[in-house]
Structure 1
Amino acid sequence: MPLFQTKFTADPSPLVVGDTLFLYTSHDASPEDIPDPNERNSAGFYMYDWLLWSTTDMVNWTEHGAVASLKDFSWRSRDNGAWAIQTVEHNGKYYLYAPLHGHGIGVLVSDSPYGPFKDPLGEPLVWQKEHWNDIDPTVFTDDDGKTYMYWGNPHTYWCELNDDMVSVKKDKPSAASLSNGITKLPHIDRYQEGPWLYKKNGWYYLAYASTCCPEALGYAMSKNPTGPWETKGYIMRPTQRDRGNHPGICDYKGHSYVFGQNYDLMHLETFEHHERRSVTATEITYNEDGTIKEVPYWLDQKPMQQLQWLNPYRRVEAETMAWGFGLKSSKMNITNTGVIADMPASTGKRNMYIYDINDGEYIRLRGVDFSAGKSDKGAKSFSITASAEGTAVITLRLDSVDGPVIGTVTVKNTGSVNKYRAFSSKVKNAVGVHDLYICFSNTNGDVRLDWWQFK
Structure 2
Amino acid sequence: MNYKLLLLSLLLFLVNSAIAKSFFKRQETEDSEVESSAAEVDGDDVNADDIEEVDSGVESEDPVEKVKEYIKGANPYLPLWEHVPDGEPKVFEYQGKKRVYIYGSHDTNRDEYCGKDQVVWSAPVEDLTDWTYHGVCYVATDGSNLYAPDVVQKGDTFYLYAAEQNGAAVYVATSKNPAGPFTDPIKTDVGFDPGVLNDDNGRIYAYWGFTRQSCAELEDDMVTIKNGTRKDNVLKHAITQWSPADGFEDPDDAFFEASSPRKVLGKYVYIYSKRYYTPQPQYGVYEDNNGFLSYKYSDEPLDNYVMGGDISFNAGELLQNDDGTRTMTYRWGNNHGSIIEVEGQWYIFYHRQTGVNEYARQAMIEPVDVAMDKNGKLFIGKITYNEEGEPISSEPVEMTSQGAHVNGLDSRKIISAGYTCHLFGGKKGGANGGEGGAYILPVYDQVDTISAPIVDITSKITAGYRYLQFGNESPSTVSVEVKALEDLVINVRVDDYQGDIIATMNLKKGDTKAQASLTKEVTGKRAIYFEFLSESDNVIAEFNLFTFDD
| TM-score, reference length from structure 1 | 0.55
Q: In the alignment, which residue of structure 1 is the partner of 2:378?
A: 292
Please tell me whether the aligned partners of residues 262 and 268 of structure 2 are also in contact (alpha carbons under 8 angstroms).
yes
2:413 is the alignment partner of 1:314 = yes
Q: SS of 2:476's equivalent? A: strand
Letter of the structure 2 residue corresponding to residue 369 of structure 1: Q
Q: In the alignment, which residue of structure 1 is the partner of 2:423?
A: 324
- Identity percentage over the alignment? 14
Q: In the alignment, which residue of structure 1 is the partner of 2:523?
A: 432
1:364 to partner: Cα distance: 0.7
Return the alpha-carbon distance in structure 1 between the equivalents of residues 542 and 274 of structure 2: 44
1:102-141 paired onto structure 2 within 5 Å: 102-105=168-171, 120-121=182-183, 124-128=185-189, 134-140=191-197
Q: In the alignment, which residue of structure 2 is the partner of 1:152?
A: 208
Return the alpha-carbon distance in structure 1 between the equivalents of residues 441 and 122 of structure 2: 15
1:379 to partner: Cα distance: 0.7
1:51 to partner: Cα distance: 11
1:230-245 paired onto structure 2 within 5 Å: 230-235=304-309
Return the alpha-carbon distance in structure 2 between the equivalents of residues 94 and 384 of structure 1: 46
Q: In the alignment, which residue of structure 2 is the partner of 1:382?
A: 478
Cα distance 1:435–1:449, how it changes in 2: closer, same or farther (>3 A)? same
Q: In the alignment, which residue of structure 1 is the partner of 2:61?
A: none
Return the alpha-carbon distance in structure 1 between the equivalents of residues 120 and 513 of structure 2: 27
2:516 is the alignment partner of 1:408 = no
Q: In the alignment, which residue of structure 2 is the partner of 1:344?
A: none
Q: SS of 1:364's equivalent? A: strand
Q: List per-residue Cα deviations over 1:298-340 (Å, max 9, x = no partner).
A: xx95863985333312333332233135221322537xxxxxx
Return the alpha-carbon distance in structure 1 between the equivalents of residues 449 and 156 of structure 2: 21
| TM-score, reference length from structure 2 | 0.47
2:398 is the alignment partner of 1:304 = yes
2:226 is the alignment partner of 1:177 = yes
Q: SS of 1:319's equivalent? A: helix
Please tell me whether the aligned partners of residues 243 and 262 of structure 1 are also in contact (alpha carbons under 8 angstroms).
yes
1:168-207 paired onto structure 2 within 5 Å: 168-169=221-222, 177=226, 184-187=229-232, 189-190=234-235, 194-207=258-271
Q: In the alignment, which residue of structure 1 is the partner of 2:340?
A: 250
Return the alpha-carbon distance in structure 1 between the equivalents of residues 302 and 482 of structure 2: 56
Cα distance 1:248–1:365, how it changes in 2: closer, same or farther (>3 A)? same
1:354 to partner: Cα distance: 1.3
Please tell me whether the aligned partners of residues 155 and 185 of structure 1 are also in contact (alpha carbons under 8 angstroms).
yes
Please tell me whether the aligned partners of residues 369 and 380 of structure 2 are also in contact (alpha carbons under 8 angstroms).
no
Return the alpha-carbon distance in structure 2 between the equivalents of residues 405 and 393 of structure 1: 13
**RMSD over aligned Cα, in angstroms?**
6.2
Q: SS of 1:155's equivalent? A: strand
Return the alpha-carbon distance in structure 2 between the equivalents of residues 290 and 251 of structure 1: 19
Bigger mean CA offset, 83-92 vs 400-409: 83-92
Q: In the alignment, which residue of structure 2 is the partner of 1:219?
A: 296
Larger Rg: 2
- The structure in which a higher percent of residues are helix is 2
Please tell me whether the aligned partners of residues 260 and 338 of structure 2 are also in contact (alpha carbons under 8 angstroms).
yes
Aligned pair count reads 366
Cα distance 1:151–1:280, how it changes in 2: closer, same or farther (>3 A)? same
Q: List per-residue Cα deviations over 1:358-398 (Å, max 9, x = no partner).
A: 1232321124332x1xx3x4111223456788887543222
Q: List per-residue Cα deviations over 1:69-112 (Å, max 9, x = no partner).
A: 9x973434755xx6444467999999875422222246699999
1:47 to partner: Cα distance: 1.9
Cα distance 1:109–1:441, how it changes in 2: closer, same or farther (>3 A)? farther
